[in-house]
Amino acid sequence: MPIPPSKYVSNVWKQGIFDGRVVFVTGGAGTICSAQTRALVHLGADACIIGRNQQKTEDAAKDIATARKGAKVIGIGGCDVRNPESLVKAAERCVKELGAIDFVIAGAAGNFVAPISSLTSNGFKTVMEIDVLGTYNTVKATIPYLIESAARNKTNQNGLTGGRIIYVSATFHYTGMPMQAHVMAAKASIDSIMASVALEYGPYGVTSNVIAPGGIEGTEGLERLSSSQMDIKTASAGIPLGRFGTIRDIADASVYLFSDAGNYVTGEVLVVDGADWRNKGVGVGLDIDMKYPDYLFKGEFSKHVKTGRKEKPKL
C-alpha cells in the first residue's frame, strides 16, 4: 500500500514540477534517501537508486514506485560506491533505461559510535572510503550527464530544471562532537567536494549543494547514534525547536534545491536541524545519566545503540 504523501513531502509543492526528470541516488534504500527519492517521484521524476544489498535495494525501488502511478524506479543492488567502475556501470544503466540523469543525491554513508581510543585505523578508513571516496566516485560517474542536463534546461521557461547534485552530510564538524572523529573528517571532506563541484561545474550550469540533517526521528542513523533507553522528549529537549527532524523535513529541502525555486543556490550547505548545531548539538552514544566529560574518563558509551556492523551484501 502506498505511503501517504503527507508522510514524506509537504503539500506546498506543485504536482508535476519534476515531470520527465531522472534522479540517481546512492544509498537510496536508506530511510532518509528513500524519502528524498519518494518525494521527487511523487512530484513527477523517475529514479534509479543504488545500494550494496541487492534485495533491499530492489524492494525499496518497487516501494518508491508506488508514490506515483506510472513511475519508473530502478533498484541497482550489489553496487559499492567505493568501486568507481561499479558506479559508472550503474549510471550507464540508468541513462539507458530511463533516458538521462538530471539530479543526483549522494547519500551513501557509514557511521557508528566510537571514541578515538577504540576507533581502529580500519574503522576510520572504512567511513572515509564510503563517505568521501564514494561521494567523489559518484560525482565522477554522473557529472557528464549532469552537464548535458544543465545544457538542456538552460533556457527552460516552464520551471523544469536539471543538472543538480545534493550531498547528504551532517553537522558534527561545525563545532566538534565526541566519539565522531571519523564522521567529522568524512563530512568535512564532503562539504569541500561540494564546493569544488560548484566552482568547477557552475559555468556549465550545474548546481552543487549539501543538505546537513540533524537527528532525524525513526531513521537507522539516529538508532546508531542515540541510546534506545533515552526518552525522545528528553533527548530532544536541548534542540531549539524542541524536536527531532522528520524525513519529510529533509525531503522538502531536497525538493527546494532541485526545483526552480533553488535555481540560484549553489555552493551552499543547507542545515536542517532545528538550530541544534548552534546549541552544540545533541550528544551521541549517551544514556541519560552520562555526563561530559565523565563518560570519557571512564571510557564508556551507551550499550544501547545500534551496531554499525552490516550484513554481507546479498548479491
Write the DSSP assignment of 250-261 as a string of letters. Answer: HHHHHHHHHSGG
Q: Work out the angle at residue 112's Cα, subtended by the Cα atoms of residues 109 and 116, and round it to the nearest 5 degrees.
A: 115
Taking Cα atoms as reference points, which of 25, 42, 43, 46 lies closest to residue 34? 25
Half-sphere exposure of 235 toward its Cβ, with a 13 Å CA cutoff?
A: 21
**Three-class SS of residue 58?**
helix
Helix (H, G, I), strand (E, B) or coil at 191: helix
Catalytic residue chosen out of the listed positions 34, 86, 149, 187: 187
Q: Report phi then psi at 201, rounded to 5.
A: -115, 0
| Catalytic residue (choose from 34, 86, 149, 169) | 169
Instruction: For residue 86, give the nearest of 57, 45, 123 by alpha carbon.
Output: 57
Alpha helices in the chain (DSSP H): 31-42, 54-64, 84-98, 121-128, 134-152, 172-175, 181-201, 220-225, 232-235, 247-258, 294-298
Is omega for the bond preceding 293 within 30 degrees of 0, making it cis?
Answer: yes
Q: Where are the alpha helices (DSSP H) in 7-109?
A: 31-42, 54-64, 84-98
In the residue annotation, 118 being an active-site residue is answered as no
How far CA 86 is from CA of 38, 89, 92, in Å, comes to 24, 5, 10
> Is 187 designated active site?
yes
Q: What positions carry a catalytic annotation?
A: 169, 187
